[in-house]
A and B are shown apart, each in its own frame.
Chain A
Amino acid sequence: MQSQMKESDPILEVENLSASTDNLPILKGVSLAVYPGEIHAIMGRNGCGKSTLSKIIAGHPSYNITNGDIKFLGENINSLEPEERAQSGIFLGFQYPIEIPGVSNLEFLRVSTNARRKFLNKEELDTFDFEELVKEKLEIVKMDHAFLSRSVNQGFSGGEKKRNEILQMALLEPKIAILDETDSGLDIDALRIVASGIKKISNSQTGIILITHYQRLLDEIKPNYVHVMSDGQIIKTGESDLALELEKKGYEWTDNFIKET
């Protein structure tokens, strides 16, 4: 990774991270630092470990960190619970958002928003104030109010699920958002809505990690850095043109990097 002097401290630092599940190593020494205002893209074949990286940063209980550290705003968060990470401002947009039958979307959004607000020492919102807030945020993702009364993600189309993820991001106002294949399964209109939503929510104080296979999301949101992952490692890091080159030459091209290293 190229060294460059940064003015502020990083939001998220991943240092030489190795992790496994069921004794199977998945990550083999990943390092990454995201500074305020930066957008990073992580690309790579299926199974290269990029989704796993996002889950580990969010604290999924099925993975064990075997080596290395995850630091958020300078603090080591290796042993924090997933909810503590979320409350402090780490957001994971799921590749496959989970359906939770019976739990109303509105209630779910309210409880999570208030958990974050409590952490920020902000006043918790009652049902009415929350309705107001949601209405405003629904605009960002162009979602209908009716979505709120349904069960969390249940019966949502692929596009609706992804928009619901961005809605949650808008409500939680994270410091860093890791968006795992948020572009997959979206048609071009939905992709634009999602991309513009992400741009609206992010600012010079926040960081974003986009995990994706395709260039098309990166056409909408231009990343500062592009990382290519393979077999649990980042094998190449470049600027946004790396993604274009990758699109042109395919992942076989990156296989050479492994040989080089």
Chain B
Amino acid sequence: MEIIEKIKTKQSQDSLTEIQKICLDKLQPSPLPNPKSEQWRLSNKSKFSNFLNYPFNEKNPKFDTPFPKSSQSTIRLVIGDSCQFNLIEENYSIKQLSEDKLVKYIKEQISCFDENENWSDLLNLSLNCTKNTLGLKINGSEIPPIEIFSHASSNSLNAKTLIIFLEKNCDINLLQVNLGKENSSLSQSTFFFLEENSSVNHGVVSYGENKSNLLNSLNVIQQNNSEYNLGSLHFKFNFARFEIRIKQSEGNAKTNIKSMQITKKDEQISTFTKIDFNGPNGFLDQINKSLADDKSHAIFEGSIIVPKIAQKTDASQLSRNLLLSNLAQIDTKPQLEIIADDVKCKHGATISQLNEEELFYMRTRGITLTEASKLQLSSYFQEIISFIPVSKDRWDLLDKLLQEN
């Protein structure tokens, strides 16, 4: 209940937007997620309540991106700063979504929200105002890569919303970076709409600092013949949840997901994915990797839902996990729910430590145990990182961050 009070006292009832009001109403009967539900049962309760403890902050202080300076060839946007953005070029245009369209779209989304499953989005939308919402409509061809930053400032809870409409036949590379500052909480909700024949290479890199928290929710709707490729990496958060919901609204679409989370110290990072095939001929290739060290806890829960209408779906989901310490733990639960009969679905999960024979082999060549482990880990990361659409110089930075970690 506290959280609702917090939002309400922050703003007078009148200044609340329509969306905020709807979401607050939805949260009213059950202001917090049900800790016994599948989506939340493994979440660390004290870490989660810590997430909500910071005072809500609407302001958007300047920050220095740790990434190299923006170049001519990329478009860089910061949610909060660049929310008034229009770019019309010869081949393409990136325009701000009109308020009407935005509200209409979000309302549509909310109408099919489940209080528990979409709790993170409900929180985000009831906290957020137009100022921290970036809504873009993209069309055309030969669009330069786009980088979108979202961040939380220290000692506060920030909420950022990103909405992207990708129009027909359009394809883009988009890197989304979520940064957590020391003692902060970031609620990031992203809504992605892919029209027919569009395609996106979407990278999500989220990393925090000391005691930062993240609720990152990603909702994707794919129309016919669209292709959605996601490469994501979450690390260095005291508490983070990455929720991915993908709906192939008419089937006939392709989804590739390569996600990874790294936990150290006593961090808890979880990834939840739900892939809904709402039509025939859908395709999914998904892999989630976790690495848990020290006293940390990594969680993966993935569900694939194939209703009767989704004949000829071809879906594969793999959960690969490395458990590196006696005190760390890993939970994984890949699930299939299938009603259609003419489908190819498979999933797999493994939990192990670094391969001993591989390590020994490298050591007999004079490579130290530490070095050999590093090599093995970086090969483990490689598959994911190479799927994140970033240019070479940014790649190096990512590599460095991982090495430090």
Interface residues of A in 97-142 (CB under 8 A from B): 97-98, 100-103, 107-108, 111-112, 115-116, 119
A112-B366 contact given A100-B376, A102-B383, CB 8 Å threshold: yes
Complex Cα distance, B382 from A81, in Å, reads 28
Complex Cα distance, B364 from A85, in Å, reads 7
Interface residues of B in 357-371 (CB under 8 A from A): 357-358, 360-369, 371
Residues of the B chain whose Cβ atoms lie less than 8 Å from the Cβ of A103? 375-376, 378-379
Residues of the A chain whose Cβ atoms lie less than 8 Å from the Cβ of B372? 83
Residues of the A chain whose Cβ atoms lie less than 8 Å from the Cβ of B383? 102
Asked if B367 and A83 sit within 8 Å, CB to CB, the answer is: yes
Residues of the A chain whose Cβ atoms lie less than 8 Å from the Cβ of B378? 102-103
Complex Cα distance, B355 from A98, in Å, reads 10
Asked if B366 and A58 sit within 8 Å, CB to CB, the answer is: no
Asked if A86 and B365 sit within 8 Å, CB to CB, the answer is: yes
Interface centre among A60, A107, A111 (most CB of B within 10 A): A111
The answer to the question of B356 belonging to the interface, with a C-beta cut-off of 8 Å to chain A, is: yes
Residues of the B chain whose Cβ atoms lie less than 8 Å from the Cβ of A168? 365
Pick from B358, B360, B367, B382: contact of A60, CB below 8 A. Answer: B360
Residues of the B chain whose Cβ atoms lie less than 8 Å from the Cβ of A98? 357-358, 360-361
Asked if A116 and B363 sit within 8 Å, CB to CB, the answer is: no
Asked if B366 and A100 sit within 8 Å, CB to CB, the answer is: no
Asked if A100 and B362 sit within 8 Å, CB to CB, the answer is: yes
Pick from A94, A111, A116: contact of B375, CB below 8 A. Answer: A111
A175 to chain B, nearest CB (A): 13
Residues of the B chain whose Cβ atoms lie less than 8 Å from the Cβ of A61? 356, 360
Asked if B361 and A115 sit within 8 Å, CB to CB, the answer is: no
Complex Cα distance, B378 from A59, in Å, reads 25
B301 to chain A, nearest CB (A): 26
Interface residues of B in 376-396 (CB under 8 A from A): 376, 378-380, 382-383
Residues of the A chain whose Cβ atoms lie less than 8 Å from the Cβ of B368? 81, 83, 115
A160 to chain B, nearest CB (A): 16
The answer to the question of A212 belonging to the interface, with a C-beta cut-off of 8 Å to chain B, is: no
Complex Cα distance, B360 from A97, in Å, reads 11
Q: Mark B277-305, 1 if CB is under 8 A from A, else 0.
A: 00000000000000000000000000000
The answer to the question of A82 belonging to the interface, with a C-beta cut-off of 8 Å to chain B, is: yes
B289 to chain A, nearest CB (A): 11
B360 to chain A, nearest CB (A): 6
A58-B364 contact given A98-B357, A100-B358, A102-B380, CB 8 Å threshold: yes
Asked if A107 and B363 sit within 8 Å, CB to CB, the answer is: no
Asked if B379 and A102 sit within 8 Å, CB to CB, the answer is: yes
Residues of the A chain whose Cβ atoms lie less than 8 Å from the Cβ of B361? 94, 97-98, 100
Complex Cα distance, B382 from A92, in Å, reads 28
The answer to the question of A11 belonging to the interface, with a C-beta cut-off of 8 Å to chain B, is: no
Residues of the B chain whose Cβ atoms lie less than 8 Å from the Cβ of A100? 358, 361-362, 375-376, 379
Q: Mark A68-88, 1 if CB is under 8 A from B, else 0.
A: 000000000000011101110
Asked if A82 and B376 sit within 8 Å, CB to CB, the answer is: no
The answer to the question of A172 belonging to the interface, with a C-beta cut-off of 8 Å to chain B, is: yes
Complex Cα distance, B367 from A247, in Å, reads 39
Interface residues of B in 129-186 (CB under 8 A from A): none
B374 to chain A, nearest CB (A): 10
Asked if A116 and B364 sit within 8 Å, CB to CB, the answer is: no
A245 to chain B, nearest CB (A): 33
Residues of the B chain whose Cβ atoms lie less than 8 Å from the Cβ of A111? 367, 371, 375
Complex Cα distance, B368 from A108, in Å, reads 12
B258 to chain A, nearest CB (A): 13
Complex Cα distance, B379 from A85, in Å, reads 25
Asked if A86 and B363 sit within 8 Å, CB to CB, the answer is: yes
Residues of the A chain whose Cβ atoms lie less than 8 Å from the Cβ of B360? 60-61, 82, 98
A93 to chain B, nearest CB (A): 9
Asked if B366 and A108 sit within 8 Å, CB to CB, the answer is: no
Asked if A115 and B366 sit within 8 Å, CB to CB, the answer is: yes
Complex Cα distance, B404 from A237, in Å, reads 54
9 closest Cβ contacts across the A-B interface? Answer: A102-B379, A112-B365, A115-B366, A82-B363, A86-B366, A98-B361, A87-B366, A83-B363, A103-B379
Which A residues lie at the B interface, using CB under 8 A? Answer: 58-62, 81-83, 85-87, 91-92, 94, 97-98, 100-103, 107-108, 111-112, 115-116, 119, 151, 168, 172
Interface CB pairs A-B, < 8 A, 11 = A59-B363, A81-B369, A83-B363, A94-B361, A98-B358, A101-B379, A102-B380, A108-B365, A115-B365, A115-B366, A172-B366
